Amino acid sequence: MTSPFISAGELAEELAAPAPPAVLDASIVLHTAEFDGDYRKDPGRPAWLAAHIPGSIWVDVSTQFSDTTAPLHYTHPEPQAIADELARLGIGDGRKVVVYDSTGSLFASRLWYLLRWIGVDARVLDGGFAAWEASGERVESGEGEAADPVPSWPVEAVRRAWVSKEELLERTADDTTPLVCGLPAAQFTGAAPSRYSRRGRIPGSVNVSSRDLFTKEGKVKSRVELILAYDAAGVDVAENSGEVLLYCGGGISASANALTLAAIGTSAVRIYDGSLEEWSADPALPMDIG
């Protein structure tokens, strides 16, 4: 099993090699909601300008790798749109990509999930930019020289990656496919304010907070710890255990769940892209609280 993570030391070695990977900084600051409906975010570009991995490119996942014509934040674009954006950034067909961020690896996970969906060889820097700095590797600041665009190439999805609201509504009472919410426990129970229309969770779902799957330094926890975290929620992640469905507020935290599941060998996952942003906005749909 190939890990979806790469360490700072491994990345430094690969960047010094003849065919280095492209490095993308996906940082976005998503603020904690102070009241229901409080949705605030800031781009990570200022922090990237101040200090970043040499040669890296900051990208805005919310615009460059989302369908901006959709009514919801972060709606996934079509596969070809992802490849076209990579080509615009100078990343050609077959080139490896490493993604990182400075905001807890959630947005790096989202971009990783999108790239893997179209078959790009992508990994996430374990620990993000903090791990790179802690390793003593060189950093740069400022704009740097942008790479020239390269010709685009045709792509298509290489795996099933998404589950729709309609499919979730059609689930029967005896459906044993796990539905996992990746939000923190207080948001799952409705104890904390929500960025979205209503507090609570989709009925029948269980909670494995994606943030609890990383250490306080931002590195992914051990394989045993990850398995135990899912097991505690009643989610069997043993080999060939079946599909896992994931959601959160808007498809970002759920991507970190997908990343950690991939780290323990569970690749049969799909994300509800609309997540609570879509579900909670429909007053006819049930939500559990408490």
If you write DSSP's letter for every residue of 120-188 in order, what string do you get? --EEEETTHHHHHHHTT---B-S--PPPPP---------S--EE-HHHHHT--TT----EEE-S-HHHH
Last residue of a domain, one of 92, 115, 134: 134
* Same domain (yes/no): 41, 105: yes
Q: Which domain holds residue 110?
A: 5-134
Q: Do residues 266 and 237 touch, judged by C-beta distance below 8 A?
A: yes
- The answer, yes or no, to whether residue 4 has pLDDT greater than 70, is yes
Here the CATH number for the domain that contains residue 121 is 3.40.250.10
pTM greater than 0.95: yes
Q: How far apart are CA 93 and CA 171, in angstroms?
A: 38
Q: What is the pLDDT of residues 7-54, one digit of tens each?
A: 999 999 999 999 999 999 999 999 999 999 999 999 999 999 999 999
| pLDDT class of 174 with cuts at 50, 70, 90 | confident
Q: Classify residue 143: in a domain, yes or no.
A: no
Q: Kind and range of the H or E element at 78?
A: none
Give the count of domains, the chain: 2
Q: Is residue 146 part of a domain?
A: no
Q: Judge if 65 and 183 occupy the same domain.
A: no
